[in-house]
Amino acid sequence: MNNKTLNSMLVTGFSLAFSMGVNAQMHIAPSGDVGVGTVLPASSVHVLRSDGTARILVEETNGVKGPRDLFEIKNNGNPEFRMTNSGNGNSWVFSAGLRFVVKNNAGAWVSRITKTGDMEITGSLTTAGGICGTGGCDLVFHPDTPVESIEEHATAMWANSYLPAVGPTPENAPINLSEKTGGILNELEKAHIYIEQLNNRLSEQEQQYAASVAHFEGELQQLKLENQTLLLQQQEQFAELKAMIKMQMPAQNLVTSLD
């Protein structure tokens, strides 16, 4: 140890102080706790600054690129890493055991990830936004937004084997949930537009059918009336004919001839 590296090493009271100048910058308490910037370390290693420069850096300069463990914590149980906002007292805790767990200020878990990658959250999932495929999100309802016809959409869908706004989704391939959800929303909104179009077509056909039924029922009723009129005329003509025959034929042959 030389003076260029360490100007002085002092034993003051019950702590060992290392100094780079007049004031000591590092203290080792009798408990073994190390304070950097504090003479009263509150933890095994306590770094304290008040000028906005407090940080810890672990740097590996090996020229061979590759993953390395640069930070490791161990515990007989779940090791936990806490981040606390000293301005409002809120804390977030990262806990690792059978699952990687994120806990809120109350100590309740809000997110859990299993070793196989399955994820649970207790709240809602919100992304920064998306374009909903190539056709826009709620823009599909804007009058200036072109929407392909049902026939055009069906042709593209069957030709490509996927929904146009969703795009291809190969089996077992990674999925961009934001893009896919936006594309699905676009397709869902267009589907409701198509439903309305089909409903309008069906309503128009039902009206045409009802009008046709009413027309044919009117025609049928007219035919019935004409048939009834014709039948009455025929009955009247038959009655007149019977009367004429009765007047012209002998009485003894009338009953036999007309019965």
Quick one: DSSP state of residue 31?
A: T
Please give the tally of structural domains in the chain. Answer: 3
User: Has residue 158 been placed in a domain?
Assistant: yes
Q: Contact at 8 Å (CB) between 132 and 182?
A: yes
Instruction: For 23-62, write each residue's pLDDT tens digit.
Output: 668 888 888 999 998 888 999 999 999 999 999 999 999 9
Q: Mean pLDDT in the chain?
A: 86
User: Has residue 243 been placed in a domain?
Assistant: no
Burial class (CB in 10 A: 0-12, 13-18, 19+), 241: exposed
pLDDT above 90: percentage of residues in the chain? 62
What is the predicted pLDDT for the residue at 26?
86
pTM of structure: 0.60
Backbone angles phi, psi at 12, to 5 degrees: -115, 115
Residues 159 and 215 in one domain: yes
In the chain, which ranges are continuous DSSP H helix?
150-160, 177-248, 251-258
User: Has residue 251 been placed in a domain?
Assistant: no
User: Has residue 204 been placed in a domain?
Assistant: yes
Tokens of 241: 């004919």
Torsion sign, CA atoms 238, 243, 247, 251: positive
User: Has residue 69 been placed in a domain?
Assistant: no
User: What is the number of alpha carbons within 13 Å of residue 254 lying toward its C-beta?
Assistant: 12
pLDDT at residue 119 tops 60: yes
Residues 221 and 145 in one domain: yes
pLDDT at residue 220 tops 90: yes
User: Has residue 129 been placed in a domain?
Assistant: no
Instruction: For 58-115, write each residue's pLDDT tens digit.
Output: 999 999 999 999 999 999 999 999 999 999 999 999 999 899 999 998 999 999 999 9
The parent domain of residue 37 ranges over: 1-49
Tokens of 225: 């009336």
What is the predicted pLDDT for the residue at 5?
44
Residues 144 and 91 in one domain: no
User: Has residue 205 been placed in a domain?
Assistant: yes
Band (pLDDT 50/70/90 cuts) for residue 136 is: confident
Residues 33 and 92 in one domain: no
What is the predicted pLDDT for the residue at 201?
95
> How far, in Å, are 199, 201, 208, 211, 245 from residue 204 at the CA level?
8, 5, 6, 10, 61
User: Has residue 242 been placed in a domain?
Assistant: no
